[in-house]
Amino acid sequence: MAGISWIKLSVNIFDDEKIKLIRSMPEGDVIILIWIQLLCLAGKTNDGGEVYIGQHMNYTDEMLATICNQPLNTVRLALKTFEQFEMINLGDDGLISIANWEKHQNIDGMERVKTGNAERQKLYYWRKKLLSVGINAYQDGFTEDIDELKKMYEDKNLTLGLTSSHRPDIDKNRIDIDKIRIDKELDNNNITGLSEEEKRTIIYYYRFIKNNTSTNDLGMIVNSVKEYGWQEVIYILWYLKEEQKANITSFKYVNTVLRRKKDLDEGIVEFISKRELKIVEGI
C-alpha cells in the first residue's frame, strides 16, 4: 500500500475520556506516546488502520519496542491497555488494527494519495515507453493523460516496429572503421584501460555528434567518461543531439552541460544510454 505523510489528530485528543484515564495510569504519558506512534504506523501502512511491515509480516512486540524506543514490558502494557479500551483489535496472528480508523481519519484523502501514487507510476511507465520509440514525454507542456500517452506509444510502435527488421539501416562497415580509427588514436596518445562501453561512447560522439573533425577532443572525452561514467556522457550526447538539436563542434560544450547537469533520473539515463550504445554496436 502507498503510505501517506500525515494523519489527522483532533485538537481535543487530550479531552477524550479514554486518553484521560490512560494518562492517569503509571507510565500513562509514555503509553499515549506509543498510541500516537501506532497511529503514525497505521498511516504509513495506509490500509484501513492496519499496522504491519509488509504482507504476511506483522509487527511483534519486540519490533514495536525497538521502533518506539521503549522497554518491551511498557509496549506490552500499552497494547494490553489499548485492547481493553477497545482502541485496537489484535488478531490471532498478531495483526494490530486501529479501531474506528475510518471514523477518525480522512479516508477520502488517504484514498486520493493511493490513487495519486498509482497514477504517477503509470505516468512514469508510459513516459519511459515513449522514450524507447524516440518521443520525449518529459518535456514541458507534454500531455500527462495516461490514455493519450498509451495511444501515442501504440501508434508509434505500429509505425516503427521494435524488431531489428524495422530499425533504421546502420552502416556497420563505417562503425567498424570508426572503431579502428579510435583504437589507433588511443594507442597514439598512450590512452589505455578503457572498457568497450567507454570506447563505444567515444565512437558515438565522433560518429553521430561531432561536426568539426579539425578539433581533437579525444583527451577531453576520455576524461569526462572517466569522471562522469559512460552512461551519463552518452545520455547527455543523446540529449544534445535529439532534444536540443545542437550543432556540436567541440566537446567543450558537452563538458559544460555535464558540469551543470542536475537531478538526472538514473533509470532514464540507464535506459537511453544502453539503447544508444546498441546503435554503435550495430545491433
The residues spanned by each domain of the chain are 13-104, 118-166, 172-281
Model confidence at 164, pLDDT cuts 50, 70, 90, reads: very low
pTM: 0.40
Exposure string of 135-161, with b = 16+ CB inside 10 Å and e = fewer, is bebeeeeeeeeeeebeebbeebeeeee
Confidence check: pLDDT of 73 > 90: yes
Cα distances (Å, whole numbers) of residue 65 to 48, 71, 76, 91, 124: 23, 6, 9, 19, 38
Q: Model confidence over 148-163: pLDDT tens digits?
A: 877 777 766 554 444 4
Confidence check: pLDDT of 204 > 80: yes
CA 59, CA 65: separation in Å to the nearest integer?
10
Asked: is 13-104 a CATH 3.40.50.2300 domain? The reply is no
Task: Check residue 198 and give its pLDDT.
Answer: 87
First-to-last alpha carbon distance for the chain, in angstroms, is 40
Model confidence at 24, pLDDT cuts 50, 70, 90, reads: very high
| CA nearest to 157, candidates 135, 125, 137 | 135
Q: Which residue in the block uniquely carries the three cell numbers 562497415?
A: 173
Q: Model confidence over 127-144: pLDDT tens digits?
A: 777 776 667 776 666 777
Is residue 191 a contact partner of residue 179, using CB atoms and an 8 Å limit?
no
